[in-house]
Amino acid sequence: MFGIETLTEQNRPKSETIEAEIRIGSRSIHFSAQITHQPVQPYEMLSLFQNITDKVIEIGIDEVVAKGKQISCRSGCGACCSQLVPVSRAEAFALIGLVDAMPSTKQAEVRARFSQSMERLHDVGLLDELDRAIIDGDKDKLRAVGLAYFNLNLPCPFLENQSCSIHPDRPLSCREFLVVSDPAFCAKPDPETVESVVLPKHVSAVLYAMCDPKNHTGKGFLPLIQILTNATSLQNDQSPPEPAIDLLNRFLKKLAG
């Protein structure tokens, strides 16, 4: 159960430091952040959302460790990085900017990996199914498409030498996926063998809901593999910016809901 215990705000200067505490069961998360009152888009507050996600994950980890289990995920294990990764529209924006800012050789390599995977998805006819499953919000269809995607063995374009090349900026859904089972089982995602860490809250889902464009052209999230091909529509479908403090309050209310 979440509850916002404190959230201070002072007469709306250009920016201010806010302090907040979010209660999760018997635990609480405290954070402070410098917040501007200039209108912003959610992607401009991503580092704060990532920070809160990491703190929620720590609670989940503490709970499995208290039961005598250990996290099996290690640097250099990219076994789960061929999954269909959902990213919020805010994260998609930030990741597109990250790719744009890469040195030209590296950027060309990453873009080529995105293109190759998209071509493969197109060739096997999975793109239409994927779009339909997302628009319908059909979880069973999404699960089936996710499994078909995994079986194509398309490593994430950001995976290099079995490690995440954008680790500090990786999506919330990547942060939230941790297992306590043998990593060898991750080569075939099966709930019978793969035991993932149950988190008290998925901050990723909160961000998807916040990023929902409400114009029926899409959802608040999209598959990571489609971010570059959707760059223009993401730009066109942006909601008007709003004061950061209002965005944060909206985020905290959804997190508490």
| Binding region for ligand SF4 (CB under 6 A) out of 18-26, 54-62, 163-171, 244-252 | 163-171
Of the ranges 134-142, 151-159, 198-206, 235-243, which one interacts with ligand SF4 (CB under 6 A)? 151-159
Q: Which residue has the tokens 């905290």?
A: 252
Question: Closest distance between ligand SF4 and the C-beta of residue 155, in Å?
Answer: 8
The alpha helices in the chain, defined as continuous H runs, are 46-66, 89-100, 104-123, 126-136, 139-151, 172-176, 203-210, 231-236, 244-256
Binding residue (CB under 6 A) for ligand SF4 from 2, 49, 149, 158 = 158
* Cβ-based nearer residue to ligand SF4, 18 or 90: 90
Q: Which two tokens stand for residue 32?
A: 């402070």
Sole window of 52-60, 130-138, 170-178, 201-209 interacting with ligand SF4 (rule: CB under 6 A): 170-178
> Applying CB under 6 A, which of residues 59, 61, 164, 256 lies at the interface with ligand SF4?
164
Q: Decide: is 178 part of the binding site for ligand SF4 (CB under 6 A).
A: no
Paired tokens of 93: 């924006």
Structure tokens, 81: 């990085």
Q: Which distant-in-sequence residues (6+ apart) come within 8 Å of 128 by Cβ?
A: none
For ligand SF4, which is the closer residue by CB, 170 or 201?
A: 170
**Residue closer to ligand SF4, measured from CB, 2 or 114:** 114
Count Cβ neighbours within 10 Å for each residue of 46-73 and write b for 16 or more, e otherwise.
Answer: bebbbebbebbbebbbebbeeeeeeebb
Phi, psi dihedral angles at 30 (to 5 degrees): -115, 140
Instruction: Single out the segment in contact with ligand SF4 by CB under 6 A; choices: 52-60, 61-69, 106-114, 157-165.
Output: 157-165
Verify binding: residue 85, ligand SF4, rule CB under 6 A: yes
Answer yes or no: are the C-beta atoms of 48 and 37 closer than 8 Å. Answer: no
Neighbours of 31 (CB within 10 A): 13
What's the maximum distance between 2 C-alpha atoms anywhere in the chain? Answer: 56
Footprint (CB under 6 A) of ligand SF4, residues 86-145: none
Out of 64, 170, 186, 227, the residue judged to bind ligand SF4 by CB under 6 A? 170
Judged by CB under 6 A, does residue 149 bind ligand SF4? no
Question: Which one of residues 45, 174, 194, 245 is an interface residue with ligand SF4 (CB under 6 A)?
Answer: 174
Instruction: Give the number of C-alpha atoms closer than 13 A to the C-alpha of residue 126, restricted to the C-beta side.
Output: 23
Interface ranges with ligand SF4 (CB under 6 A): 81, 85, 156, 158-159, 164, 166, 170-171, 174
